[in-house]
Each structure stands twice: as structure tokens, then as C-alpha cells.
Chain A
């Protein structure tokens, strides 16, 4: 991983651990304490800290371009893809599974995109629905490892809910990360990625499937394919990349 040298991570209201400082040093990222508002700077910056609704909102609002959850229990929160996307001028959100579930990560991220890229307005509804489906899949099937066949009837649904509640309280699973990033690309494309740390899936088989009208599960990818210009699964199904064609001026900030 090359040194970035142009990203500042503001640590929000917490003393960074030695491991976080070491990781940032190795990546060439400046760590700064955050007091009050995020300052306007000529280089991209993200907010790093304990996740709450207000703090995530602050990290997702200009001039910051993202929020990375960090607590003393976390090892190395600054993933290479996350800092690369932030340094490229994208928008990033990295949360543990529990926080992503509690804080409605897809909704917060969509609001941030709408504020930063107002010209996305004609397609922001498509983005919100596709992102919500991608995030739900990453949490349920990815990080929490729950299969998709449970929710076919009321009894199956009750079992699904019990499994979901149990796994949301399983420390090993809830500390798995969910990362969302949005990066403007060439040809007026906005590339939105959703990454999880689950076991992955057979993306070739799943991406080719079309959901039945009566289906009570497995609709998500089909909907995403209808909404996005292009969809691709990477890293064994752990990273879903959705491209949206938007009106021009994507690079405005």
C-alpha cells in the first residue's frame, strides 16, 4: 500500500491507540485531534471516532469526506480501500456491523451524497434503494452470515429475527466492518462500493438470478441491477460495486 500523504484523519473526542497511530504513520496519514468543527483544508479529510448519529453526520458533511468508526476494541480501522477512496476525493463510511445496523448507514450515506452532489437529485432515489439493498445484503448475508431462505413464511421469519438478534450480539460478528464508498469516475459515472467481511458468495450464480414476483427473499441484487448502470461483485462477493450514470459536474465539492 503506497503512502497517501494527502489525507488527514481527525480523531473525534478520543485518544488514539498506539496501534492506530502506528497504522496512520505507516500509511502517511496525518492524525489530528478534532475539537469543534472540522476545519476547511486543501486536502481531503475524514473523521475517526466512536460512532453515534451526530458524529457520523459530522464526518459525512463537508468539509469532511467521511467517517471511520474507531474504538479501543478496534484493531486497524483504516482499510486501504477506505483511505484510497477518501484520498481520491470520494465519500467514505466505515462502521462496525452493529453501528451500521443501528444508525441506518444507507440512509445517512445517501443524505450525505445528496448534500455533496446536488445534481444527483434526479437519480438519488435509485441510489438510495440500491444502496439500502446492498447494505442489507452485506449486513445480513455477509457479516452476520444469515442465509436468505429463512424468510419464506411467518415461521421462517420468526427464526430469521431470532438469528439476527442473536448474531447482532455476537462480538465476533458485530465487529466485522461494513464500508461504503462513493467515488466519481470518468464518463459521469459515480461508483458506489459496499464491502463486508463475511464469507462471500458465488457471485456469478447470484448475479445472473432474477427474482420471482412472489419471492420473499433474494430480490435485492435483481433490484440493484434494475437501478444501477452497471453492477459488479468483487473479492469473492464481499465487495459490491454499483455504477450510476449521473448528470455532469460530479467532481464539484
Chain B
């Protein structure tokens, strides 16, 4: 992926090519630069972004939250083609500021093809030496065991660390998803690590409150996250 700064006021980046797990470092530099802004809108023009994977989605969510923490608003402009479709599938339009989205295309599913909008798990982002942030997006239900197992498989790397799960991109979670989060917490505690949940929205926030999860896990609302 290539990133260029096309304007300084307002700060505007242009992203092109493929945004994948390989672009963590370049994207982190943008996040740091955005933190230097104050109460501003920061724009990312992604009209020439051809491809994005789940890691890339996680990076956008991390960037949006980082911007919000420093009082800024990240505005993502002109997603196209498969990038736009992926944004819709992950329902990012409900949690990110997106402008100039192209009209939805006719569904491309073949007859008989299942269409399920499941869980997205971002790769970990190191916030500092002791804190790791992972973003969840989409829908987290009893059917999402494959993604859950992928997440669990990485836990061994977080011994004695603080693991933050960002939930702002999570649109829906059922009690099975909640159970899986408690299993993650148990596994992390076994490793001397801790787990906290950040920025739950809407129905996910409702579930956490109904199940009184804040009594057994730190749940940090969006305003404080």
C-alpha cells in the first residue's frame, strides 16, 4: 500500500494499492501524526485502495478510536468496489465516518451460497510494551468458532500483558459470543495477563449490561476508551 499526504489543512491522506497486515508500520505512523492534530477532521481518501483484509479493517477502527481520543474525527472518503462492499459487510458505515460510498451493487452470491456476516478479528496492535489492542467487528455468535479459535491461538504471546478488546465495530453478540470472551479472559488470567472490553456499542452494550458482565470484567465505555 502507498500512503501520501495530499493536504495539510485539513490533514488529508491518500491510500492506494492493497492494505493488509504488512502495512501496520506505515499506518501506525499516520495514527501518530493524527494524534498531533487538535479537534480537527482528518481525511483519508481511499478511492484508489484496491484491496483490504480484516487486518486493514482493524487498522481503520484503531485509527478512528485514536483520532477520537485526541478530539479529532477521522473521515474516510470514497471507498470503491470490493473495499466498499467489505465495509458494508462489516457494517463499518455505522461506526466510522464514511463519505462518498458508491451505491451497493447487486448481490454477487451464487444460488445456494451461504451469506453470513460473521466475526472479524484484527491482528494485535501494540499500544505500548505492556498493552495489546485487538479489534472485533461484525457479528459474534455461536457460529463463529473458527475466528474465536484463531484468537485463542494467539493468546500465548500475551503473558503478563494487558489485552484490550475493542468492541466498537461489533454490531451484534449473543450469549455464546459472551461465553467465548469469558473463556479468553480465563486463558489470559492463566497466563498472568488481563482482559478489558472497550467501547461496546448498541446491542453489544445492551447484552453486556443485561448479563452484568461489568461485574466480572472491566468494560470501558466509548467516552473513556
Q: Which residues of chain B from 148 to 185 have a CB within 8 Å of any chain A CB?
A: 149, 152, 172, 174-176, 178-180, 182-183
- Of the listed stretches A37-45, A81-89, A125-133, A239-247, chain B binds A125-133
Indicate whether B109 reaches chain A with its CB closer than 8 angstroms.
Answer: yes
- Does the CB pair B183–A153 fall under 8 Å? yes
Annotate B114-135 by CB proximity to A: 1 below 8 A, 0 otherwise.
1111000000000000000000
Query: Separation in Å of the A89 CB from the closest CB of chain B?
Result: 28
Query: Separation in Å of the A114 CB from the closest CB of chain B?
Result: 13
Residues of B within 8 A of A158 (CB): 149
Known: A54-B111, A103-B115, A213-B215. A140 touches B142 (CB 8 A): yes
25 pairs of residues in contact across A and B, judged by CB atoms under 8 Å = A52-B112, A53-B107, A53-B114, A54-B109, A102-B114, A103-B114, A104-B141, A104-B143, A107-B117, A107-B139, A125-B206, A132-B141, A136-B176, A139-B142, A140-B142, A151-B183, A154-B187, A157-B180, A157-B183, A211-B211, A213-B212, A216-B179, A216-B182, A216-B183, A217-B179
- Does the CB pair B203–A154 fall under 8 Å? no
Indicate whether A117 reaches chain B with its CB closer than 8 angstroms.
Answer: no
Indicate whether A30 reaches chain B with its CB closer than 8 angstroms.
Answer: no
Indicate whether A189 reaches chain B with its CB closer than 8 angstroms.
Answer: no
Residues of B within 8 A of A119 (CB): none
Q: Which residue of A lies closest to B187 (CB)?
A: A154
- Does the CB pair A219–B211 fall under 8 Å? yes
- Chain A interface size, as a band, is 35 or more
Give A151 to B184 CA distance when docked, in angstroms: 12
Q: Which residue of A lies closest to B146 (CB)?
A: A161
Query: Separation in Å of the B27 CB from the closest CB of chain A?
Result: 31
- Does the CB pair A125–B174 fall under 8 Å? no
Give A226 to B207 CA distance when docked, in angstroms: 11
- B211 is contacted by which of A103, A128, A154, A223 (Cβ under 8 Å)? A223
Indicate whether B202 reaches chain A with its CB closer than 8 angstroms.
Answer: yes
Residues of B within 8 A of A164 (CB): 145
